[in-house]
Chain A
């Protein structure tokens, strides 16, 4: 049963991701992207990684795709079909050759080097949100330093955005 659901979700994910990069209309691509993010979140739920799934939805669907849409809407005519998205036949052939080659080589690689991922996944216990929070902020066994460094980086980028978008009041008076 769970195998079947996995292949269903994975199939939906692959199809939607391919649509997201190949549809000529950017807005349609964005909608396909939202669908593929949801499918990814469903896979995380299947793996019992609840926090990852929720973060996936909150950050990507609720944040990044919205900003992408706003940018597309702000840009003239980019949402409509244009010559940029028309790719010549030879390039299409080359693209598919690369994809087939990659998939084949991955298949061969895993066939001759059986990976430890499956056993590792079986052994790993599902992680709760509390554990993630404690691990992130603990000083002895945690990631407090990277956490704080990232917040500093965010602060710097926020200040940078304010400086960039600030109007020069002296110039306007002239």
Chain B
């Protein structure tokens, strides 16, 4: 039988310090609380950072400067926006369902929280490492679809309902692609635990799954990027809140902190998705060693969590790049892309990588 310490490896110096001071049951409690608090701090600060980044990136793509007034280079703009959102009056449309209307904005953020708990940021920087981590990620991310569907229904507004229905159909469809790609990674790395998947990519840059699987890795990576962009409801797949058609989709009726929660959920989910891409394809917390004896020790000096964040933010930049470059697709084009192109391609990819695994060509 596994003890709870083995089950949830908080084996970093802070965890050991807490264990050396307090007796066993209290230490487990304190370590758990510390892990939760650090996740909360991460989510809270990420929201501000990502919103600032999005505004700056979009501005520079459009030859503007973006926020410049509040603080140096507008650094405090996100804080000001947050304070404004908190103090704004919360409006509820007439005939809306009170309970569900206020429950719905919480669900996407909770989904992001729950997934962050299993992300391996570094060797010992992971809240929990269940053996079926991939399954857990798939299951929990269903909560954000739930939140959007409930929000659309509870708002008592046709635009909201339409947006929610579109978004639900879109997210459920693209989740199939994401699940199949995750299955591919699980198949080639031989484990479903996220930490195990990262550990299976140990070595140089060419041991990451994006390069380790000849050709297939890059295809899988690109398809994962497309599918996760669609899953995140981001442009070019943001048909669920298409401003020109639906005035804002499922979030039409939300104001103040409710809208801010949806916004935060969207951004943190983007970070979570980038973390998953990093974990599955880009070697997680391993440095990009080149196999060159001069450079490698220098690269290894940088701690793992910094590498993880560098990779994750590179992926986030790609998501933002997509958003400010491509025009929005139509609903039917989106469904065509998933069911007629992505799904068969996914199945083919899975078959081929099965062949690779059976022949022992992969890793």
Contacts and interface: CB of A to CB of B under 8 A. Distances in A.
Interface of A: 25, 27-28, 31, 34, 48, 50-51, 54-55, 57-59, 61-63, 65-67, 69-70, 72-74, 79, 125-126, 128-130
Contacts of A125: 1
10 contacts: A27-B100, A31-B103, A34-B146, A50-B132, A51-B131, A54-B130, A61-B146, A66-B142, A70-B168, A73-B164
Main secondary structure of the interface of A (DSSP, over half): helix
Interface in B294-331: none
Contact of A66 (B135, B161, B172): B172
B153 A50 contact: no
B142 A31 contact: no
A130 B165 CA distance: 37
B131 A129 contact: yes
Interface in B148-164: 149-150, 152-154, 161, 164
B138 interface: yes
Nearest to B95: A80
A50 B153 CA distance: 33
B183 to A, nearest CB: 12
Contacts of A67: 172
B53 interface: no
Nearest to A41: B139
A79 B132 contact: no
Given A31-B100, A66-B145, A129-B192, A58 B135 contact: yes
A50 B145 CA distance: 24
B143 interface: yes
Nearest to A125: B1
Q: How large is the interface on B (under 10, 10 to 19, 20 to 34, 35 or more residues)?
A: 20 to 34
B83 interface: no
Contact of A70 (B2, B103, B165): B165
Interface string B150-193: 10111000000100110011001001000000000000000010
B87 interface: no
Nearest to B192: A129
B217 to A, nearest CB: 23
A51 B139 CA distance: 12
B192 A73 contact: no
Given A62-B142, A128-B131, 20 more contacts: A27-B97, A27-B154, A28-B99, A31-B100, A31-B103, A34-B146, A48-B2, A50-B132, A51-B135, A55-B139, A57-B140, A58-B138, A59-B139, A61-B142, A62-B140, A66-B172, A70-B149, A73-B149, A73-B161, A129-B192
Top 8 A-B pairs ranked by shortest CB distance? Answer: A62-B142, A58-B139, A57-B139, A54-B135, A54-B132, A62-B139, A69-B149, A129-B131
B141 interface: yes
Contacts of A65: 142, 146
B146 A55 contact: no
A61 B143 contact: yes
Contacts of B153: 27, 69, 72-73, 79
Contacts of B192: 129
B168 A28 contact: no
B136 interface: yes
Contacts of B142: 57-58, 61-63, 65-66
